[in-house]
Structure 1
């Protein structure tokens, strides 16, 4: 017999099996000797009161043993099956490929960047020398932007597909099983490359193809139907279906579609800065303590405020994290954040952004209007930083008071930060709302509003400023049969899990087309 219970545990009790069994016995009023196993299926931290606890949902096995689940994959061989082109090897592309294999289709994955191992060298040049490879960076390459930007798996995408299936697939490829039970699952940038490599190896072992350093420069369309693609090296890949999963930073792909007469449209996004505090300040505020309990992880926060009829909110919060340089071009500054699996760095950072709407541009009918708005802000950040990926930055209270910071606090941004007035970087509608929101955030969270915090500009790649339209039922572009816009870059996802789900949904739609 298996029964489900909900119990409350102190931080030091959550890994103590003896306490877990005793609590289960007390909750069910069942003799301890009858309990054969207690399996935690969900756990979350409750820090609403001064006494921080874990809330745990568990399955209790009474008078019967629990058979441990084995996470493995056994994909069929599809080497001689019908090919499906997948452009982009981020979460959407990789999960689309895996789903194609399950459906008996052969994925042919084309990635403009390098594999994860080679990519590391380009990231080292970015961080140490401020040198950008426009084809291999934090955004482009195997695994996409998610590989080297944290691996946070928290999502609200349950209505779009099976979140647990995505998490279990990650576990089957090497992720810790904790991601199946944590309320805010996280893999960590240090562990993601091995997982992504394992996914690629399974694609290849099943007879799929993966091509790196392969940039698509033309879609081959005849009589309104996809026939294949041409790449920068002159090669042609043919197929009747193409899943376009190129990510939110592939601006050349948007322009390629427009040149070929395919419709695209401007889409609202969010823009702001990345804010970094000492992690100790966040822990003290959220855990109501002077020093964080060693049994508790570094704390996170989520803040939102309405300012002048527009939302200002924290985004992609990284406890124990690092601010990363995520530009994809030579004359732009873009920042993001990531954390290692242990989240043991001394800083906490979060994107803090304001919604950008079509009303913010003079030519809203232009599909590139918000992309140009985004790019211009990134160029101003480059100019304010002075080059070599040095980012413009300001202390928090100085920012609100319109004062140039005399110096900057130590921070995690490796290319370096330069004191600047962020009014010279951010559009007025963004800057003014951030100025009003930060003190309000400070009233919500003790210690948040401090000059020990640094604002680093700019956080601009929160989502794609362009949407590639697709039919709601078939998921195909209305002007090109067999073209399936997919994931964040197409405007249909907002993170690793939602992108993975969208990739699988597109693979399902491809199967319907080709059957």
Structure 2
């Protein structure tokens, strides 16, 4: 017999399975000897009261042997199967390829950037030398933007597809099994490269293809049906189905669509700054303690406030994390955040952003590039005020709210360096006005948040694509081009690793075979 119950377990006992078993037996009113094993289905932290506890949903195996969950993909050899071209090797592209193997289709991945481990050299040049490779950076390359600037797998997209399947495939390729049970699963940027490599090796083993440093420069259609794609190095790949999973920063793909008069539309996105605190401030506020318990992870937060009928909210919060330079061109500043698996860095950072709507930018209703041009102008202004070499404009939090340039800046995790500026000169008026009003309100919600020990680093601008590539709701194909499937973040249909992976799977499932 199996019984599932919820237990509240303090940090002192969270790793003590015998204690958890005894507590379960007590709640079930049975002898502990009848319990032959347990399976933790869900784990979350409840810090609403002064006594922080873990809340566990646990299956107890009573008078029967446990049957542990074990997921294993069923993949087919597709060496001679029907081809599907997948443009981009981010989570959408990789999981689309994986789904192709399950369905008996041959995935051919074309990735403009480099293999995941080779990307590291180019990331080091951004951090140390202020040099960006436009084809290999935090956004472009195997694994996509999330590999080196995220690592979090938290999503609310359960209605879109099977989240558990996505997480299980990650586990199958080396992720910790904890991601299957944690309420806020996190792989860690340091572990993702190995997992991504493992997925690529499986795709190749089963007959798929992966081509790196292969930038797509044209998508060819004949009589309204996709026919082939052409690459910068002169190769042509033919297929009746093309999944476009290029990510939110592939502006050249948007330009390609514009040149061909294919449908595009402006899409709202969010813009703001990345805010970094010493991690101990967040721990103290969230866990109601002077020193965080060793068995508690570095604390996270989620904050939202309405200011002048506009939402201001935290985004992509990284406990024990690092702020990263995520520009894709030489004359822009873009920041993001990531955390290693242990989340053991001394700072906590989060994007803090404001929604940019179509009516905020002139002609956005008729010009699909209006919000993209707006985004680009802010990023360029940030680069200018930073002074070059990807030094980012920054300001202490209270100084920003009180309209004064900081005399100095706190130690922070952004490696190219920060420069004290008035961020009002970087951010559009309605953005910095909303931020200035929201930050003290956040401080009322979370003790210690509103402090001059915190630094605002500009700009957080690649929260999602400012352009959407339309697709039919049923077929997921572009309205004008049969066989072309706009996919995930780059087309405006996802917002993170897991949701992008699900969208990649859904696009393959839309292919009729």
TM superposition score normalised by structure 2: 0.99
State the distance in 1 between where 2:411 and 2:334 align.
19
Partner of 1:145: 145
Shift of 1:130: 1.1
Instruction: Provide Cα deviations, 1:297-324, integer angstroms capped at 9, x if missing partner.
Output: 0000000000011100000000000000
Give the drift of 1:69.
3.5
Q: Is there any run of 5+ residues in structure 2 with no aligned partner, and where? A: none
* 2:74–2:102 Cα contact (<8 Å) kept: no
Matched, 1:118 2:118: yes
Counterpart Cα distance in 2 of 1:270 and 1:428: 15
Counterparts of 2:53 and 2:316, CA distance in 1: 24
Judge which range, 176-185 or 5-14, deviates more: 5-14
1:158 aligns with 2:136: no
* Other-structure match for 1:241: 241
Quote how far apart the aligned CAs of 1:199 are. Answer: 0.5
1:24 and 1:38 in contact (8 A); partners too: no
List alignment gaps of at least 5 residues for structure 1: none
CA distance in 1, matches of 2:10, 2:235: 60
Q: For the residues of structure 2 that align with 1:362 and 1:123, how far apart are their CA atoms?
A: 36
Matched, 1:414 2:415: yes
Cross-structure match for 1:271: 271
Over residues 176-225 of structure 1, what are the superposed CA-to-partner deviations in whole Å (9 max), with x where a residue is unaligned? 00000000000000000000000000100010000000000001110011
Cα shift at 1:71 = 4.2
Residue 461 of structure 1 deviates from its aligned partner by 0.2
Residue equivalent to 1:441: 442
Classify the secondary structure of the residue corresponding to 1:415. Answer: coil
Report if aligned partners of 2:88, 2:110 keep a CA contact under 8 Å in 1: yes
CA contact (8 A) 1:150 1:186 kept: no
Q: CA deviation at 1:397?
A: 0.2
- After TM superposition, the score normalised by the length of structure 1 is 0.99
Give the secondary structure class of the aligned counterpart of 1:432: helix
Bigger drift between 324-333 and 358-367 goes to 358-367
How many Å separate the matches in 1 of 2:362 and 2:474?
33
| Aligned counterpart, 1:357 | 357
Note if contact 1:150-1:187 (Cα within 8 Å) is conserved in structure 2. Answer: no
Write out per-residue CA displacement over residues 120-153 of structure 1, whole angstroms, 9 at most, x where no aligned residue. 1101111111110000000000000011112111
Which deviates more, 50-59 or 357-366? 357-366
Counterparts of 1:478-489 in structure 2 under 5 Å? 478-489=479-490
CA distance in 1, matches of 2:105, 2:130: 42
Q: Distance in 2 between matches of 1:240 and 1:371?
A: 30
Residue 300 of structure 2 contacts residue 318 of structure 2 at CA under 8 Å; is this kept in 1?
yes
CA distance in 1, matches of 2:391, 2:9: 45
C-alpha contact (below 8 Å) 1:20/1:38 kept by paired residues: no
Range 78-87 or range 353-362, more displaced: 353-362
Q: Describe the SS at the equivalent of 1:117.
A: coil
The match for 1:375 is: 376
1:63 & 1:358 partners in 2: Cα distance?
Answer: 61
Q: Displacement, 1:74? A: 4.4
Q: 1: distance between equivalents of 2:432 and 2:322?
A: 23
Aligned residue for 1:498? 499
1:460 counterpart = 2:499: no
Output the aligned Cα RMSD.
0.7
Is residue 96 of structure 2 the alignment partner of residue 62 of structure 1? Answer: no
